Amino acid sequence: MVLDEEFYVNITEHMQNLREEILRRNPAEPEFHQAVQEVLDSLAPVIARHPAYARAKLMERISEPERQIIFRVPWVDDAGEVHVNRGFRVEFSSALGPYKGGLRFHPSVNLSIVKFLGFEQVFKNALTGLPIGGAKGGADFDPKGRSDNEIMRFCQSFMTELYRHIGEYTDVPAGDTGVGLREIGYLFGQYKRITNRYETGALTGKGLAWGGARVRTEATGYGAAYFVAEMLAARGDGLEGREVIVSGSGNVAIYAIQKAQALGGRVVACSDSGGYVFDRDGIDLNLLRTIKEVERGRLSEYAERGASGASYVAGRPVWEVPCQVALPCATQNELDGDAARRLVKLGVVAVAEGANMPCTPEAVRVFREANVLFGPGKAANAGGVATSALEMQQNASRDSWTFEYTEERLHRIMRDIHATCFETAAEYGRPGDYVLGANIAGYSRVAEAMLACGVI
């Protein structure tokens, strides 16, 4: 389609056409559609201001991954039975740096989910201000109940294909749901073995003894807590004395709880896919970490072993617990419109997404209409990937930073991301709209780099 003056006049029509074209070219990918729609909803003002972006078909290009890899992952379980899983790596954008984004091992993983995560990652990584492109990957493998040896064999098989696509200057995967330190270890071991290179910069989330960075484990959760504290501070408020609820009890949730507590919040509930724990005395983080990180147990054990103030509610989401601050840190679309209305009624004043796209579009609308501070995941959970980029810096210089220095860098990055979103929203006439601010700021950085590099 040739773009003319009339075209620019009707930006809405342009965005609508774009949306329809993306939906048509990517059928049966609902999560990807949702992620694209959410970004497109914010972009009309920036495209109106920069017609060159539309002329260069930047959004058409950004929404088409540079490369998508789908592969077979065969492996043998402890009983000798052969299994076949499907592996994915979607390399979305290298406009700002090597592809960068995590790997997810979960039975729900499919192309739509990997594409939504990769698409979000492009803008998130841009917001960090660090030189990283966007990607995501994973497999429809369920690590739950698998032995260490089965996990190792799966990771080795996965890397036997993935290794040819990644590298320090090419694509740098990390962890995500179902992929933590143990899995990154097995993946890194296999990469090293196949390539015969001790290339620490090819994967992040590594252990401290083999090229990892301090604070990477804590970074996403800490970052989400910092972000919500920044949003509250911008309204002259703070976390001090606030009741906080967190969904999930995995990597992001645990460290969001730790930092929210350190900043003065009273975290009274967290959850897993089976239900939630309410502890009126405040979540006992040591007990939670023992159950989840050391024993790899279930959250239901918390109430059995916890203090008298704790109870476990099976089969229900955590969103019925009264709070002023909610941090969804589990999975996509876990907080819907009804849950959002309930939270608003219960007095929530701030929500920050520790997970990727945990709030449905209706939930986001409810929060925005109720004037609840809402931090979208691409801003609020960017601390994880930012610290991965700091890990890459340490690998490149063969250096290792202290916990305090790295955390200060993370804190500064989160403050900068907040300021960028806040100021961009104000600049475009929507003060306090962090969704618009994050989308426009992230998009603009990618757009400028793409324009400079020509049509590639």
Annotated catalytic residues are: 136
Nearest-approach distance from CB 354 to ligand NDP, in angstroms: 6
- State the minimum distance, in angstroms, from the CB of residue 21 to ligand NDP: 27
CA 105 to chain centre: 14
For residue 322, the Cα-to-chain-centroid distance in whole angstroms is: 25
Query: Whole-number minimum distance, CB 336 to ligand NDP, in Å?
Result: 11
Residue 23, C-beta contacts closer than 8 angstroms, at least 6 positions apart: 33
Distance of alpha carbon 38 from alpha carbon 431, whole angstroms: 18
The DSSP line for 164-219 is GG-BTTTEEEE-BTTB-HHHHHHHHHHHHHHHT---GGG-SS--GGGT--TTHHHH
Q: Which residue is nearest to ligand NDP (CB)?
A: 250
Residue 234 CA, chain-centre distance (Å), reads: 23
Instruction: Catalog residues that contact ligand NDP under the rule CB under 6 A.
Output: 175-178, 220, 247-253, 271-274, 329-331, 334, 354-356, 381, 384
Q: In the Cβ-directed half-sphere of 434, how many Cα atoms lie within 13 Å?
A: 28
What's the 3-state SS for 263-315?
CCCEEEEEEECCEEEEECCCCCHHHHHHHHHHCCCCCHHHHHHCCCCEEEEEC
Minimum separation from the CB atom of position 224 to ligand NDP (A): 9
CB of 255 to ligand NDP, least distance (A): 9
Measured from the CB of residue 448, what is the shortest distance to ligand NDP in angstroms?
Answer: 25
Q: What torsion do the CA atoms of 23, 25, 28, 31 make, to the nearest 10 degrees?
A: -50
Length of the chain in residues, anyone?
456
Pairing of strands 243-247, 266-272: parallel
Q: Which residue has the tokens 């996403």?
A: 220
